[in-house]
């Protein structure tokens, strides 16, 4: 019972589902920072887009004003010539700014796609995380149920063994790393696996049925069985 309970405790501490969940949580934390970075980058580029749009708009408005003054034909020939000249350079300026605007909009599109990609990954990860939590809880519940089942008859067994022997058993169990008593099988101690010599075997043969026997090597309590080789 105690060996199985120890195994269950060990398995509970080393659940593969727990490892999987920890990995996913780590990925989720990294993804959250990536998303913050990507959204910030997108926000910055969107501000650049607005700025570029208003730059282009200013040049357009200026050109429109010049054009209407030219169309009105008021002012000297020199003034009109200067207006025409400015209109030409505004046209060139507008083309340059529009190129800049297109370049920024392409970057905004790429940044938007990156945010969308990360958001999709985030959604998938959230589903995986939920599944991993459920899997971990299920595994824990199964082990808990098994432990309860294994431990249920322990109190009765302990009562039947008697306090002194139980105290000795618990002491050895602590010292020997979990296993306090072992069966003697084919002349071998089930704790340390060493074979008992003839002297020890003869001593055990001669021992009273209720004498508590110990392995000379590992000091565990030796339990005689039908297969002990006595
Ligand atoms: Zn032993």
Instruction: Name the 3-class secondary structure at 27.
Output: helix
CA 204 to centroid of ligand 1, rounded, Å: 14
Instruction: Assign 73 a pLDDT band (cuts: 50, 70, 90).
Output: confident
Please state the φ and ψ torsions of residue 216, each to the nearest 5 degrees. -65, -25
The Å distance, Cα 151 to ligand 1 centre, comes to 25
pLDDT at 229 over 90: no
Q: How far apart are CA 230 and CA 225, in angstroms?
A: 9
| Dist. CA 188 → ligand 1 center (Å) | 8
Residues of the chain with pLDDT > 90: what percent?
A: 92
In angstroms, the CA 52 to CA 44 distance is 12
d(CA 55, CA 53): 5
Q: What is the reported pLDDT for 74? A: 81
Helix (H) or strand (E) holding 190: none
Distances (CA, A) of 26 to 133, 145, 201: 14, 30, 58
Calculate ∠ Cα 228-190-211, nearest 5°: 60
Where residue 32 falls among pLDDT bands split at 50, 70, 90? very high
**For residue 214, how far is its CA from the centre of ligand 1 (angstroms)?**
8
Per the DSSP assignment, residues forming a β-bridge with 112 are none
Say how many Å lie between the CA of residue 8 and the centre of ligand 1. 24
Specify whether the CB–CB gap between 183 and 190 falls below 8 A.
yes
Residue 184 Cα to ligand 1 midpoint, Å, equals 9
């Amino acid at each position: 019972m105690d060996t199985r309970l120890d195994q269950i405790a060990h398995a509970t501490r080393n659940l593969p589902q727990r490892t999987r969940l920890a990995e996913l949580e780590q990925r989720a934390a990294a993804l959250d920072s990536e998303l913050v970075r990507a959204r910030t980058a997108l926000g910055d580029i969107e501000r650049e887009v607005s700025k570029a749009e208003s730059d282009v708009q200013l040049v357009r408005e200026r050109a429109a004003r010049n054009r209407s003054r030219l169309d009105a034909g008021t002012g000297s020939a020199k003034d009109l010539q200067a207006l025409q000249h400015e209109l030409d350079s505004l046209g060139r300026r507008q083309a340059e700014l529009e190129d800049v605007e297109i370049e920024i909009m392409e970057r905004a599109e790429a940044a938007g796609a990156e945010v969308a990609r990360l958001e999709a990954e985030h959604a998938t990860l959230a589903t995986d995380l939920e599944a991993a939590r459920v899997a971990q809880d299920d595994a824990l519940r199964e082990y808990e149920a098994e432990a309860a089942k294994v431990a249920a008859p322990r109190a009765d067994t302990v009562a039947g063994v008697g306090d002194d022997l139980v105290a000795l058993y618990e002491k050895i169990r602590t010292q020997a790393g979990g296993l306090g008593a072992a069966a003697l099988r084919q002349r071998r101690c089930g704790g340390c696996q060493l074979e008992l010599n003839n002297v020890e075997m003869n001593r055990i043969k001669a021992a009273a049925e209720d004498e508590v026997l110990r392995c000379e090597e590992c000091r565990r309590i030796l339990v005689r069985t039908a297969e002990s080789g006595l």
